[in-house]
Amino acid sequence: MNLAHLLERAARVHRTAPALHVGARQLCDYRGFAAAAARLGAGFRDRLRLAPGERVAIFMENAPDYLIALWGAWFAGLAVVPVNAKLHPREVLYALQNSGAQALIVSDSHAAGLAPLLAQAPDCAHVITPGAASWRRLLETEALAEPLHRGPDDVAWLFYTSGTTGKPKGVMITHRNLFAMTLCYLADVDEVDPRDAIVYAAPISHGAGLYNFPHVLKGARHVVPESGGFDPAELVDLSRSVGRLSMFAAPTMVKRLVDHVASRGADPSGFKTIVYGGGPMYVEDIRRGLDAMGDRFVQIYGQGESPMTITALSRAILADRAHPRWAERIASVGVAQSLCEVRVGDAGGRALPAGEIGEVMTRGDAVMAGYWRDPEATAKTLRAGWLFTGDVGSLDADGFLTLKDRSKDVVISGGSNIYPREVEEALLTHPDVAEVSIIGRRDPEWGEIVVAFVVARAGATVAPADLDSLCLASIARFKRPKAYRFVASLPKNNYGKVLKTELRDLDARLAAGGN
């Protein structure tokens, strides 16, 4: 079944319920939302002559038209290629070329920078800018009576990985995958009703946009901030004016929001649910978040290859401070979501006993169909029905998964594995440490040694000896960093993930310079 049936259904069940908002200002109800998507879908089919299965790329900042573009493409049976609005035009060109996108929807602010490169994407015959004449013509088409049929294994969303190593790969996310993710959200992450509002403060092209599905299904409101992005003060104001506000955020965003609420004494009661994921949330940070904003948090762990859907750490578990293993559980990423199996396995994929460390694996209806036009990478990642995530972790006897690190980031020193996260957790207990990231440096004696990149809080100075003492008090001596690099900030990609490859390059340059 085509995902667009979710919006078609919502328009019948919740006809006059408010749907799309900019800030607190309502733009349309569900009937209007679905009608715009059906007209746009007809424009794709009848004016642009796009056939089901063909690709439409979207290179836009967050805006209500972004959601109309997504659902219009699905009404026409197309696959969307959402591209992060912060990418360089040449990175966008790669996604256009690799996906063979036949059309591009691009916001006015990006159109001029991309235009000189479009000749290198010959498949992309149509360029449409929301608000321009090309967009208006599509919306003037007589609406499709119903979404065009798609099978459950047809591609709906072609997601390009962030490409921290090598070229990004196109992850084929099917209608089945997204239906499974939607049901898992409602079963394992949060209940939704029409009074709720989801705010898109993180890119719609990524995880935040994927969470539009359960909110469409339940007829909830969709809010794009006036700024189009993440601003803690703006979000607090929206929580008061809109109410029952839910959002998806990377841990770095959560930390900034919590800092704002805590420093201003702001009232967090307008927030309903804050789902965090996409990177490590350190124990000290989630403790502080719970203290400042109450039991409003849910953690999810997923990947582009199993979107938003591997494990979840529920609001109830995060709130259960009386549980004897609460401290351990909030350091985990929770338990398998309802439609997923999760295993920690050895190099051959065989399940390891509880407590042993190995590669995290998952299978189920949320797992991707494979990588676009890359059978070799698909065969390497999908084996015997299991997705090999490349993450390292362990399962306890109760099914809680604790991540250690990406397999490529494990530091092997003197033959012993050192997982960066446990060293980072120790260092973050220092009150003047704002951020930290651990890498390995090649060493002729030990194989690798641990190097810590540390960001101090504004105006603070942190002594390496104090950090050594913290480590010696909580982790084995051999895991202690052998070198500290104090930096103003950590390099991150567009999704807030620390780029350890850049840290390794910086460490090598500093070492070569005698520092």
Mean pLDDT of 384-397: 94
Superfamily of domain 4-395: ANL, N-terminal domain (3.40.50.12780)
Mean pLDDT of 147-153: 98
Phi (first) and psi of residue 243, to 5 degrees: 80, 155
Which residue type does 379 have? A
447 pLDDT tier (thresholds 50, 70, 90): confident
What letter would DSSP give residue 78? P
Identify the weakest region by mean pLDDT among 162-176, 195-209, 273-287, 475-489: 162-176
Q: Report the first-to-last Cα separation within the chain, whole angstroms.
A: 60
With 50 as the cut, is the pLDDT of residue 437 above it? yes
Identify the weakest region by mean pLDDT among 259-273, 314-328, 330-344, 429-443: 429-443
Contacts 24+ apart (CB under 8 A), 376-382: 377/169, 381/305
Where helices occur in 43-144 by DSSP H, the ranges are 64-75, 89-99, 108-114, 133-139
- Compute the distance between CA of residue 380 and CA of residue 397 in angstroms, rounded to an integer: 29
What residue segments make up the domains of the chain, in order of their start? Answer: 4-395, 412-512
Cβ contacts of 277 within 8 Å, gap of 6 or more? 207, 248, 250, 251, 299, 300, 301, 302, 308
Tokens of 215: 């909110």
Residue 109, pLDDT score: 93
Q: Quick one: which H or E segment has residue 384? A: none
| CATH topology classification for 412-512 | GMP Synthetase; Chain A, domain 3 (3.30.300)
What letter would DSSP give residue 185? I
CA nearest to 206, candidates 253, 159, 170: 159
DSSP per-residue string spanning 5-53:
HHHHHHHHHTTTSEEEEETTEEEEEHHHHHHHHHHHHHIIIIIS-PPTT
Residue bearing tokens 């004696």? 445
514 pLDDT tier (thresholds 50, 70, 90): low
Tokens of 180: 């499974």
Which residue type does 363 have? R
With 60 as the cut, is the pLDDT of residue 166 above it? no
Mean pLDDT of 462-469: 95
Model pTM score: 0.84
Mean pLDDT of 275-294: 90
pLDDT tens, 187-202?
999 999 999 999 999 9
- Compute the distance between CA of residue 406 and CA of residue 354 in angstroms, rounded to an integer: 19
3-state secondary structure of 303: strand
pLDDT tens, 232-253?
999 999 999 999 999 999 887 8
With 80 as the cut, is the pLDDT of residue 493 above it? no
Instruction: Decide if 4 contacts 40 (C-beta within 8 A).
Output: no
Phi (first) and psi of residue 153, to 5 degrees: -100, 10
Percent of the chain with pLDDT over 70: 97
With 60 as the cut, is the pLDDT of residue 503 above it? yes
515 pLDDT tier (thresholds 50, 70, 90): low
With 60 as the cut, is the pLDDT of residue 444 above it? yes
Residue 474, pLDDT score: 81
Phi (first) and psi of residue 398, to 5 degrees: -95, 5
CA nearest to 14, candidates 247, 278, 197, 219: 219
- Compute the distance between CA of residue 244 and CA of residue 215 in angstroms, rounded to an integer: 12
With 70 as the cut, is the pLDDT of residue 74 above it? yes
SS3 for 416-482 is EEECHHHHHHHHCCCCCEEEEEEEEEEECCCEEEEEEEEEECCCCCCCHHHHHHHHHHHCCHHHCCC
pLDDT averaged over every residue in the chain: 93
- Compute the distance between CA of residue 345 and CA of residue 68 in angstroms, rounded to an integer: 42
Residue bearing tokens 């004449």? 133
Mean pLDDT of 132-161: 97
Strand ranges in 277-385 using DSSP code E only, listed in sequence order: 297-303, 306-313, 335-336, 340-345, 358-364, 370-371, 382-383
pLDDT tens, 214-236?
999 999 999 999 999 999 999 99
Half-sphere exposure of 39 (CA within 13 A, CB side): 15
Identify the weakest region by mean pLDDT among 25-29, 51-55, 173-177, 509-513: 509-513
Percent helix, strand and coil across the chain, each rounded to 5?
35, 25, 35
Compute the Cα dihedral for 373, 204, 257, 458 and give only its sign.
Answer: positive
Mean pLDDT of 445-468: 92
Residue 477, pLDDT score: 82
410 pLDDT tier (thresholds 50, 70, 90): confident
- Dihedral angle of Cα 29, 206, 319, 233, to the nearest 10 degrees: -70
